Structure 1
């Protein structure tokens, strides 16, 4: 990960954030980065006079949320790194405020909650929005996740197009080295016309696998020489990408994904595969900033 930015920003919400704090504290201790907790108030800063009391009450609640989170984080890091906190009460909006704070961060950590209906849309929009626009890598930690007593020893990188995978691969190598884990590169393909069951056979699967290995080799070989202590394994699946990566998350410590190029003129920089994996993965998902 970025060695110059030596601060991890963790977005503390109003709900239970134990999973987020466990991941962020573990990552801070592992890398020696300070841990900065941020709570963004969602009430509008300009309210009629009659609502001033409600606003002050919300500010007190935000302060209390941060204090509780800071106590927990301080215990988790056990004095090995500094823990600071910040209440944002007159910001530009949750996503914009967190994106702004990502500029000098090594990593931004959010917790993805398992919600349904409108609550899921609201929660997801924050995670997806920050992951799509942040100036550094973003980690989405599933609600209920805890560091396993025995790590899987595997960091999985999802690669669709090898020509656009260099950033995600480098972060994957760095994370695998930090964890003394194997780097697992996964590519999945599925015919868009829906005729897979009819036209796809062993020969086609072998052809697609061989082609991907050839196209990926120049990108992996250079990094493998730099990270000679990291074991690499490459797998190609005939499956839909989100399903293959979600399945891989069950045996991985991290899933690493790249986001779309930031200069795309329209649409989200976070693709449908990344959104699905963030929603369903069993382990934390790292969304990597794309080089401009």
Structure 2
């Protein structure tokens, strides 16, 4: 049985945008879509029973609102829903474990300020063992596509680039494969970006000094990147790949590379030693500074 695409909904504009994006992704992958709403369980006392009944009623209304929107725009989606009891982060993590992909909403800001990410979403991003996508509140279907000839948004044009931000020291197969699959189902170009800093004077040994020029180092990194991607290009011959190495700060490189993209993909190293909703620097930069949907793919 195919794992579903799962979207967490809470009635907010950002969660409805996430559900709509998840519906489109379910269709792209030919997978079912499951909507989940998490609510806190109260002790079984009179007040608790009343609160639980109110929570169930609210959950049903929230789910119905999202379902109505999806059935109107995408009636062909295989849709189901689920109410989950418990703290939201724990409930969503449980749902994510059973998903092919978890989708959550995040309030989008204008310009280059990216997302406002709540504590629940951060907690899920930090600990999820399955891929997760964050979608901003004002995300529209046309935002995933290239502009029409008149410059207006359209869903009839091709998709914007799928962008993979990669560190060559932590490149993982599961992250690369996820990105190639995302590009394949969209018939989109895949742009792979590695950011690095220009080296200063480098000591070569006792009594020797040398200067590694930025252009030389950039060419070396680009060669490593192309060699890394070659096996995946052979596996996905229909995916056009553009490998790019930039001498820039990761945050700036991410924002520039993702401008006009349909999806940005970053890897997230799972670390049992981390306490609380912490992420690595690249993941942190992506979810706080990028405007397009961001896929976070966990790896060990």
Q: Judge same fold: TM > 0.5, yes or no.
A: yes
Q: Does 1:217 align with 2:226?
A: yes
What secondary structure sits across from 1:13 in the alignment? coil
CA change 1:209–1:8 in 2 (3 A) is: same
Q: Does 1:166 align with 2:164?
A: no
**Correspondence for 2:82 among 81, 86, 94:** 86
Taking the aligned partners of 1:31 and 1:189, their CA distance within structure 2 comes to 34
**Number of residues paired by the alignment?**
270
Bigger strand fraction: 2
Shift of 1:103: 2.0
CA change 1:259–1:163 in 2 (3 A) is: closer
The within-5 A match list for 1:241-260 is 241-260=250-269
Taking the aligned partners of 1:209 and 1:5, their CA distance within structure 2 comes to 42
Bigger helix fraction: 1
Taking the aligned partners of 1:184 and 1:31, their CA distance within structure 2 comes to 20
| Alignment TM-score, normalising by the size of structure 1 | 0.83
> Which of 264-273 and 241-250 deviates more?
264-273
**Correspondence for 1:276 among 249, 261, 285:** 285
Cα RMSD for the two superposed structures: 2.6
CA contact (8 A) 2:161 2:261 kept: yes
- What's 2:67 paired with? 70
Shift of 1:156: 0.3
| Alignment TM-score, normalising by the size of structure 2 | 0.81
CA change 1:218–1:191 in 2 (3 A) is: closer
CA contact (8 A) 2:19 2:35 kept: no
Taking the aligned partners of 1:269 and 1:220, their CA distance within structure 2 comes to 29
**Correspondence for 1:135 among 129, 138, 146:** 129
Structure 2 portions without partners, runs of 5+: 110-114, 143-153, 201-210
